[in-house]
């Protein structure tokens, strides 16, 4: 493999054979910049072509009846110059012309360029054959086009629901032509820059290879058709079939830990004030931190991660939120790596991240540090929303902090975790369920006892399950009965409601099942009964019914037949990455990451090979699909949310309005995958790792303050 001038990977000596090039006449003639993706690929695959900078020179040099490609330069700011004179010159030589992003077309009105947001490309003719049938979808990133009105097109741009196919058609959504044949003939028009498909990371790759095959066929009718092949600049680490190295899991952990540094998400006080202040406004997405900005050491926290948006150069913008869960989970990943690799700097960064969360940031300060406050002990969600207390976020933060403290051999966060345990317990109702998000305002208006005495229920392991796991862990360390009573009562109700009455978060059944594994496994640690083992096995079998031969755990819907109910709904809320059952997708933000830990803890708690074998398959799969990119080192080593395990490509429905298919979080996915891989190498479990963490003394101290009227 090697890099071309534009920075994308090409196939050395055309490693995937291109079609043999016969008589090059009629030739292909390119008018474009020398680093245009298509021109580089054509040369790499041995396609006979000539290239010119100026269209006048290209037309003059083109042989009679040749195929001429006028490719967009200056996209998206500048459209491609064309004129009646040039059109006449091309027609005089009987050239077949492909033009993209034109400023002018004969007999048609071309509007100024416009940027699209949620629109994707949909095939609307049979020109591409079976590989890209009608209504099938492809994606152009940083999508701009010049609006043109024509009645027929091969490709259109439209906002549509679906993964591979526009499942609701185009009847209720506006569409604009992307690729069409001009009514006058011998002119094939693209209203955008299709030739940016490699650098711009157009997806899925096979769809765009098919489009280019159709265009070459149109340009050279009756001639052998060359097929383009390229290695994506951002791709999975291994193919589906190649043999993994013996140390694949160690490598994956090392690369994940390295990602936290090279991704530039660690904040530094010398960053521009504006950039630091972005963390104080919800959902701020901006350019990623600049290379000249110094890298932080954890003492000012870290950013949330990369948005799912893919830009013109193939990069992705940064989400500038500074979140409790992301920081504590990232600390855990770095602590695991520091312990495994004896890397003192990573261990130090992990400690500084936790110190920032618990002592330096507002997340644990203000009313959260006041013993008289009803929010005492809770940890705020993010710097932009410190008065929101998501139970699941608090749970993941506590588990990550417990693991980190043990790995760093420091008890200095034990008291904060103990307060957080009690704070979440006392805001859980008498049936053991807690509202997904308790706010400072609600606590001040109602007081914590109103939550303690409520009859609230929410049959969602995603929101509830890991808090129950924390409570079961706390019971084991303190013997305090309410920890066990509330969690076991809630789990019993949850399983009695399974599956008909579960609340399916973002319409995914697998998300809920994956999140149920950990509390069910730790329930066996506290109370090993045949019924509890049966509960765990029931959920695990249903989850793993969708485990592919590759090891992927396929997504499945919960409670609905279609994830996105209409074209109009696409991109309007948080949602699953599949559209319907049968889509061959896995989710590493919500499902596979948590399933890996859940299966690991289930195997450790039960000793049953059923869980271990499924875990092994999933671990190998996750090593294979870890992001690899030389062109974008800021992404290398993380895990994207979505992956298509049949295509073996980062592809899914990108309908989620904030955390789409190509997002990568500093928390959630990467740290739990990396952390579980580390536990596997250490031949221990999270339960066993944290067994020696001592909180009993701190618990007695804070229980009398936070639950004074209870035994």
Report the candidate in 126, 129, 96, 128 with the shortest Cα–Cα distance to residue 220: 96
Is 412 in a helix, a strand, or coil? Answer: coil
> Are 290 and 318 within 8 A, CB to CB?
no
Q: What confidence score (pLDDT) does residue 214 get?
A: 97
* 483 burial type by CB count under 10 A (0-12 exposed, 13-18 middle, 19+ buried): buried
Residue 132 has pLDDT above 60, yes or no: yes
Question: pLDDT tens-digit profile of 177-187?
Answer: 999 999 988 99
CA distance 671 to 28: 50
Q: What confidence score (pLDDT) does residue 711 get?
A: 56
Report the candidate in 82, 73, 132 with the shortest Cα–Cα distance to residue 108: 82
Residue 19 has pLDDT above 80, yes or no: no
Tell which CATH classification among 1.50.10.10, 2.60.120.260, 1.20.140.10, 3.30.2350.10 matches the domain 248-692: 1.50.10.10
Regarding beta strands 67-70 and 96-100, do their DSSP bridges make them parallel or antiparallel, or are they unpaired?
Answer: parallel
Q: Render 35-82 in DSSP notation, one character per residue.
A: T-HHHHHHHHTT--EEEESSHHHHHHHSPTT-EEEE--SSTTTSPBP-
Is 598 in a helix, a strand, or coil? Answer: helix
According to CATH, where is 3.40.50 located in the chain?
2-233
Q: Which residue has the higher pLDDT, 14 or 254?
A: 254
Q: What confidence score (pLDDT) does residue 629 get?
A: 98
> Are 52 and 58 within 8 A, CB to CB?
yes
**Location of structure tokens 């948080």:** 574
Q: What confidence score (pLDDT) does residue 628 get?
A: 98
**Location of structure tokens 């009313």:** 367
Residue 489 has pLDDT above 60, yes or no: yes
φ and ψ at residue 628, rounded to 5 degrees: -125, 130
- Alpha carbon of 357 to those of 296, 301, 401, 654: distances in Å? 15, 7, 10, 31
CA 428 vs. chain centroid, Å, equals 31
Calculate mean pLDDT across residues 378-387. Answer: 98
CA distance 695 to 698: 5
Fold of 2-233: Rossmann fold (3.40.50)
Question: pLDDT tens-digit profile of 285-343?
Answer: 999 999 999 999 999 999 999 999 999 999 999 999 999 999 999 999 999 999 999 99
Question: pLDDT tens-digit profile of 451-487?
Answer: 999 999 999 999 999 999 999 999 999 999 999 999 9
Q: Which residues fall within 8 angstroms of residue 395, CB to CB, at 6 or more apart?
A: 424, 466, 467, 469, 470
CA distance 465 to 461: 4
> Are 100 and 76 within 8 A, CB to CB?
no
Residue 353 has pLDDT above 80, yes or no: yes
According to CATH, where is 1.50.10.10 located in the chain?
248-692
Give a three-class secondary structure readout of 448-505. Answer: HHHHHCCCCCCCCHHHHHHHHHHHHHHHHHHCCHHHHHHHHHHHHHHHHCCCCCCCCH
Q: How many CA atoms lie within 13 A of 442 on its CB side?
A: 13
> Are 362 and 386 within 8 A, CB to CB?
yes
The alpha-carbon radius of gyration of the chain (Å, integer) is 28
Calculate mean pLDDT across residues 598-613. Answer: 98
Question: pLDDT tens-digit profile of 30-67?
Answer: 999 999 999 999 999 888 899 999 999 999 999 999 99
Q: Please give the torsion angle defined by the CA atoms of residues 237, 242, 248 and 252, in that order, rounded to the nearest 10 degrees.
A: 10
- For the four alpha carbons of 183, 184, 189 and 191, in that order, the dihedral sign comes to negative
CA distance 662 to 641: 6
- Record the pTM: 0.95
Q: What confidence score (pLDDT) does residue 709 get?
A: 79
Report the candidate in 497, 431, 488, 418 with the shortest Cα–Cα distance to residue 460: 497
Report the candidate in 397, 403, 461, 402 with the shortest Cα–Cα distance to residue 591: 461
Report the candidate in 367, 344, 55, 74 with the shortest Cα–Cα distance to residue 196: 74
Q: CB atoms < 10 A from the CB of 218, how many?
A: 17
Calculate mean pLDDT across residues 643-652. Answer: 98
Go through 343-354 and write b for each residue having 16 or more CB atoms within 10 A of its CB, e for each that does not.
Answer: eeebbbbbbbbb
CA distance 440 to 447: 10
Cα angle for residues 692, 693, 695 (degrees, 5° grid) = 130
Is 328 in a helix, a strand, or coil? Answer: helix
Calculate mean pLDDT across residues 274-294. Answer: 96
Q: Please give the torsion angle defined by the CA atoms of residues 76, 78, 79 and 84, in that order, rounded to the nearest 10 degrees.
A: 180
Residue 95 has pLDDT above 90, yes or no: yes
**The pair of three-digit structure tokens given for residue 213, joined into one six-digit string:** 């095959």
Instruction: Report residue 710's pLDDT band, with 50, 70 and 90 as the boundaries.
Output: low
């Amino acid at each position: 493999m090697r890099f071309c001038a534009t920075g994308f990977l090409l196939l050395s000596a055309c490693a995937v054979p291109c079609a043999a090039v016969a008589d090059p006449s009629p030739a292909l003639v390119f008018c474009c910049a020398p680093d245009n993706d298509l021109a580089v690929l054509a040369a790499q695959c041995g396609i006979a072509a000539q290239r010119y900078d100026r269209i006048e020179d290209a037309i003059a040099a083109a042989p009679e009846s040749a195929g001429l490609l006028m490719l967009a330069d200056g996209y998206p700011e500048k459209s491609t110059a064309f004129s009646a004179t040039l059109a006449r010159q091309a027609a005089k030589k009987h050239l077949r012309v492909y033009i993209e992003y034109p400023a002018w077309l004969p007999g048609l009105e071309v509007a100024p360029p416009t940027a699209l947001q949620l629109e994707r490309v949909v095939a609307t003719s049979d020109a591409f054959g079976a590989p890209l049938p009608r209504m099938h979808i492809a994606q152009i990133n940083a999508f701009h086009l010049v609006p043109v009105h024509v009645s027929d097109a091969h490709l259109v741009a439209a906002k549509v629901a679906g993964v591979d196919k526009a499942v609701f058609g185009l009847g209720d959504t506006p569409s604009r032509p992307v690729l069409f044949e001009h009514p006058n003939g011998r002119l094939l028009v693209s209203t955008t820059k299709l030739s940016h498909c490699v650098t711009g990371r157009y997806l899925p790759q096979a769809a765009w290879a098919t489009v280019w095959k159709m265009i070459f066929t149109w340009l050279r009718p009756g001639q052998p058709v060359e097929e383009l092949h390229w290695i994506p600049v951002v791709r999975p680490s291994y193919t589906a079939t190649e043999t993994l190295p013996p140390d694949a899991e160690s490598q994956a952990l090392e690369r994940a830990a390295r990602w936290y540094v090279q991704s530039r998400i660690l904040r530094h006080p010398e960053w521009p004030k504006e950039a630091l202040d972005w963390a104080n406004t919800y959902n701020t997405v901006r350019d990623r931190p600049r290379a000249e900005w110094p890298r932080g050491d954890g003492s000012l926290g870290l950013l949330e991660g990369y948005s799912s948006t893919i830009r013109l150069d193939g990069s992705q913008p940064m989400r500038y939120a500074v979140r409790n869960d992301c920081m504590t989970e990232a600390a855990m990943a770095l602590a695991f790596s520091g312990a495994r690799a004896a890397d003192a700097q990573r261990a130090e960064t992990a400690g500084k991240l936790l110190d920032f969360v618990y002592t330096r940031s507002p997340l644990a300060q203000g009313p959260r540090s006041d013993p008289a406050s009803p929010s005492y002990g809770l940890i705020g969600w993010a710097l932009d929303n410190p008065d929101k207390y998501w139970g699941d976020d608090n749970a993941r933060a506590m588990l990550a902090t417990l693991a980190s403290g043990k790995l760093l051999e420091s008890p200095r966060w034990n008291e904060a975790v103990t307060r957080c345990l009690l704070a979440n317990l006392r805001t859980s109702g008498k049936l053991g369920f807690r509202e997904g998000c308790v706010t400072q305002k609600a606590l001040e208006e109602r007081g914590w006892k109103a939550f303690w005495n409520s009859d609230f229920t929410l049959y969602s392991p995603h929101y509830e399950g890991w808090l129950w796991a924390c409570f079961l862990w706390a019971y084991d360390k303190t013997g305090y009965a309410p920890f066990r009573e509330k969690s076991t009562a809630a789990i019993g109700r949850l399983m009695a409601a399974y599956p008909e009455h579960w609340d399916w978060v973002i319409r995914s059944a697998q998300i809920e099942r994956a999140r149920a594994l950990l509390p069910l496994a730790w329930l066996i640690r506290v109370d090993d009964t045949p019924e509890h083992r049966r509960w765990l096995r029931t959920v695990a079998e249903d989850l793993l019914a969708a485990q592919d031969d590759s090891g992927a755990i396929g997504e499945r819907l919960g409670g609905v037949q279609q994830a996105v109910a209409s074209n109009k709904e696409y991109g309007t809320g948080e949602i699953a990455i599949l559209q319907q059952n049968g889509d061959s997708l896995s989710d590493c933000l919500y499902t596979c990451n948590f399933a890996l830990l859940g299966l690991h803890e289930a195997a450790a708690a039960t000793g049953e090979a059923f869980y271990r074998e499924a875990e092994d398959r999933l671990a190998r799969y996750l090593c294979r699909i870890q992001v690899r990119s030389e062109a974008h080192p800021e992404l290398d080593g993380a895990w994207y949310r979505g992956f298509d395990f049949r295509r073996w490509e980062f592809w899914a429905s990108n309908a989620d309005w904030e955390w789409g298919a190509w997002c990568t979080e500093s928390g959630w996915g990467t740290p739990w995958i990396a952390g579980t891989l580390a536990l596997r190498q250490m031949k221990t479990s999270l339960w066993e790792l944290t067994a020696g963490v001592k909180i009993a003394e701190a618990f007695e101290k804070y229980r009398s303050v936070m639950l004074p009227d209870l035994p």
